[in-house]
Structures are given as C-alpha cells and as structure tokens.
Amino acid sequence: MEQQDKFYKGLFFGAVLGAVGGTIMGLLFAPQKGTETQQIISGKIKLALDKATDLYESNEHDGAYSNEAKTRSQEIIDTARDEAKKILNEANSIIREIKGYPKTKEN
C-alpha cells in the first residue's frame, strides 16, 4: 500500500511540475509579445476565479451545502488564486530575465 501511495504522489507532483514547465515554455515561445500573453492569461484566470466566486456566492444561501463544504471550497478558490499569482509572477520574472531587465523583488 505504501508503494502505491508513493507512486500516486510521484505521479501528482510530476503532473504539476509538467504543467508549470509547460506553461513557462508556452509563455517563452508564444507568438504574441510577453505582455500581451500575460494580459490574456491574467484575464482568463480572473474570469475563471470570478465565475467560481459567483457560483460559490450563489450557493451560499442554499441549504444543501454544509458549512464545511463552503469553507473548503473557499480555501480551494483562495489557493487557486494564490497559485495563479505565483505562476504569473514567475513567468514575468523569467520574461524579464530573458529580455535583460533586472529582477524585481517578490511580494
């Protein structure tokens, strides 16, 4: 059982690292300028987060969901928002380094 848990952990982390690496490579080799690509990605992430927030808030008064489920879903939304910001900051940093601009301090 422990072997199987290690396998799934490795599979999960490999998928996450692959997704991050693919995102960064996609940004580096994108046909648009870096700033245009960043704006597109930023807009899509904000739209998705707004939709998720709207769905969460529309179900807030629905008695079908327990407080624990609401709390957990809000944590997931917050985590997704934080991770998206981190990925965008990393991508911006990499693009700046490639263009020769000095590094900016991270928040």
In whole angstroms, how far apart are CA 16 and each of 26, 57, 67, 101? Answer: 15, 29, 29, 28
98 contacts: CB under 8 Å, gap ≥ 6: 28
Number of domains present in the structure of the chain: 1
Would residue 35 count as lying in a domain?
yes
Domain span at residue 26 reads: 2-99
Residue 94's Cβ-side half-sphere holds a number of Cα atoms within 13 Å equal to: 17
Over residues 16-29, the mean pLDDT reads 84
Would residue 66 count as lying in a domain?
yes
Q: What is the mean pLDDT of the chain?
A: 79
Q: Band of the pLDDT at 64, cuts 50, 70, 90?
A: low
Would residue 93 count as lying in a domain?
yes
Would residue 106 count as lying in a domain?
no
86 contacts: CB under 8 Å, gap ≥ 6: none
How far is residue 5's CA from residue 82's CA, in Å, rounded to a whole number? 27
Q: What is the pLDDT of residues 45-61, one digit of tens each?
A: 888 888 888 877 776 55
Would residue 71 count as lying in a domain?
yes
Would residue 26 count as lying in a domain?
yes
